[in-house]
A and B are shown apart, each in its own frame.
Chain A
Amino acid sequence: MQKRAYFGLYIVIAVLAVLPLVVPNSFYLDLAIRMAINAVIVLGLNLLIGFAGQISLGHAGFLGIGAYASAVLPTHFGWHPLLAMGAGAAITGLLAAVLARPIFKLKGQYLAMATLGLGIIINIAIRNEAAWTGGPDGMPVPAMGLMGFELTSDKHWYWVVALMLSVSVWASINLIDSPFGRALRALHGSEVASQVVGVDVVRYKVAIFVMSAVFASLMGSITAHYVGFVTPNLADFFHSIELVTMVVIGGMASVYGSLIGAVLLTALPQALATFEGWETVAFGAILMVCMIFMPKGLVPTLAAKFGKGD
């Protein structure tokens, strides 16, 4: 199990290393960076949804907190971008930790409702506090830098996110195989049974929720600095849904499924841009068809078909 899991990681690293040599132009490099950013968020979200079996329909809200911390704190208070990023992650972690206990008393549809509501409230707050956030128009984000070196070119950003993605994949594989990961899978299987054998169900749910929220917040900060501009769309309901869709299309409880889901759904809108006016219809239809024919997601379905474990 362990060996095979690491085999996948080596492939990911190899692809990431070769990719900048083969991408034809900066458009594709940009696409690759956004895929990698989404992949990290989706890895975190998949730990929550796929492994622990808890839904979040509000993750874009956490992403928005990170992004706006990186925009607002350096602009209005002159904070260092790294400090702002840390502050964003801390605020998100705290918010998630405080809300997680009452939220995770809920199950299924009620949990979906609560997380959805939380995300929407965050988005509305960002839209309304125009004096700080620029309102619906968004605001520019200062460049990220450290000791006189400014991260500006896409090449630099590529290596930063490639490193983050490799570390996240490595961390996910290890986490899943740790006692923590086994506890998560146990509580997905049966909460009562795992409680009986001594798993502190609530503590694990809270921990994984906070962790995936902090992942999203950090990547929100990265997105903000990379793009150089933030808008409330980053934190809206539709973006939350996109992230969940990446998890499910790729395959729940599958590390590599998360990567595939993020890559496909980041590329899809670009590919659909040729369908002028029909993009939304095509996107919706593809979601439905994928889910109807592969309710378990791409990677687990294919893995089952070719008789290999994931």
Chain B
Amino acid sequence: MLAQFLQFLFSGATVGATYALAALGFTLIYNASNVINFAQGEFIMLGGMLAVFFAQSGLPLPAALVLAILIPAIVGIVVEKLAIEPVKGAETVTLIIITIGASLVIRGLTAVFLGKGTHSLPAFSGDTPIEILGATLMPQSLWVLGVTAVVVVVLWYFFNRTLTGKAMLATSYNSLAAELVGINTSKVLFMSFAMSAALGAVGGILVTPITLTSYDVGIMLGLKGFVAAVVGGLGNGLGAVVGGLLVGILESFGAGYLSSAYKDAIPFVLILLILFFMPRGLFGARVTDRV
């Protein structure tokens, strides 16, 4: 009983950590530009696929991983420069379609160059499971959770203790005011895309040894990351992390105790319920609209 509960908790938290990284990516871009980046899931996919590609082509694993984070970050920058910056201030639907166009291009190019097969990475530190109270925990899960925790701490430090981070925060509160005090908001926009693409790629790489990857895994991962970001209240970094873990854990419990066939529906039922009762997510600020 307890063993089963723990088992669901471990697997849920592991997947949830990936959602949390994706949700942080959504949050960064949303804060910098009010854009919901529907290509976020493709960065997760790209991280995993590139890591597999470089590892298989004979590069040592650390080098392969670095490249698999750097390239998605560059892709993120290219998307921002070519597609987002020229249409600053366009309607939400227009921006949504642009990012969906970008996601199709990324997915299509991956299918053309890396193939449509399903791939896996070897786990970073072996496959010997760790027994905890009758449940088993894979070492790779510890990697996922550990790296996510490190990323969260680094981001916290970045946003609260460095000038660049504070400039990004300021832009998210009021970009006009930020510009007036001399912050280069277009640099902020560009950094937020690079960072959120890198975050997504990190999540994609970490989770590949557990869940496998292929050119089309980005859609669902991205949408669930979006759910996680909204659960926590869009634009709230802490909310994104909590939202990600919550979505992952509830999905895992739902699949285990209720119905595994409806596993993918659980995050969406959850988000509808939350939005119906708390229209701004769990941690969303109460705001009054100015007319």
Which residues of A approach B to under 8 Å, CB–CB?
49, 55, 57, 102-103, 105-106, 108-110, 112-114, 116-118, 120-121, 124-125, 128, 190, 192-193, 237-238, 241, 244-245, 247-249, 252, 277-288, 291-292, 295
Across-interface contacts of B36 in A (CB, < 8 A): 109, 112
Asked if B86 lies at the interface with its beta carbon under 8 angstroms from chain A, I say: yes
Q: How far in angstroms is the closest Cβ of chain B from A253?
A: 11
Q: How far in angstroms is the closest Cβ of chain B from A217?
A: 20
Q: Report the separation of the CA atoms of residues A285 and B103 in the bound assembly, to the nearest whole angstrom.
A: 10
Asked if B104 lies at the interface with its beta carbon under 8 angstroms from chain A, I say: yes
List of 7 A-B pairs having minimum Cβ-Cβ separation, nearest first: A284-B104, A280-B108, A287-B101, A281-B108, A288-B101, A117-B268, A284-B105
Q: How far in angstroms is the closest Cβ of chain A from B289?
A: 8
Q: Which one of B54-62, B150-158, B270-278 is at the A interface?
A: B270-278
Complex partner residue of B94 from A110, A128, A280, A291, CB under 8 angstroms: A291
Across-interface contacts of B82 in A (CB, < 8 A): 288, 292
Q: Report the separation of the CA atoms of residues A112 and B90 in the bound assembly, to the nearest whole angstrom.
A: 16
| A248-B94 contact, Cβ under 8 Å, with A120-B223, A128-B262, A190-B291 | yes
Q: How far in angstroms is the closest Cβ of chain A from B84?
A: 9
User: Are A252's CB and B100's CB within 8 A?
Assistant: no
Across-interface contacts of B285 in A (CB, < 8 A): none
Asked if B111 lies at the interface with its beta carbon under 8 angstroms from chain A, I say: yes
Q: How far in angstroms is the closest Cβ of chain A from B281?
A: 8
| A102-B275 contact, Cβ under 8 Å, with A281-B109, A284-B103, A291-B87 | yes
Across-interface contacts of A282 in B (CB, < 8 A): 108
User: Are B112's CB and A281's CB within 8 A?
Assistant: yes
Asked if B127 lies at the interface with its beta carbon under 8 angstroms from chain A, I say: no
Across-interface contacts of A252 in B (CB, < 8 A): 91, 93
Name the residue of chain B whose CB is nearest to the CB of A109: B36
Some 18 contacts from A to B, beta carbons below 8 A apart, are A103-B276, A106-B279, A109-B234, A112-B92, A114-B271, A118-B268, A128-B262, A244-B93, A248-B97, A277-B111, A277-B112, A278-B108, A280-B111, A283-B101, A285-B105, A287-B98, A288-B105, A292-B82
User: Are B92's CB and A284's CB within 8 A?
Assistant: no
Q: Report the separation of the CA atoms of residues A270 and B94 in the bound assembly, to the nearest whole angstrom.
A: 24
| A281-B271 contact, Cβ under 8 Å, with A110-B230, A116-B223, A292-B87 | no
Name the residue of chain B whose CB is nearest to the CB of A102: B276
User: Are A291's CB and B223's CB within 8 A?
Assistant: no
Across-interface contacts of A49 in B (CB, < 8 A): 93
User: Are A113's CB and B94's CB within 8 A?
Assistant: no
Q: Report the separation of the CA atoms of residues A200 and B279 in the bound assembly, to the nearest whole angstrom.
A: 20
New A-B contacts (16) at CB < 8 Å, excluding given A113-B227, A117-B268, A280-B104: A110-B275, A113-B275, A117-B271, A121-B265, A192-B289, A241-B100, A249-B97, A280-B111, A282-B108, A283-B104, A284-B105, A284-B108, A287-B101, A292-B82, A295-B87, A295-B90
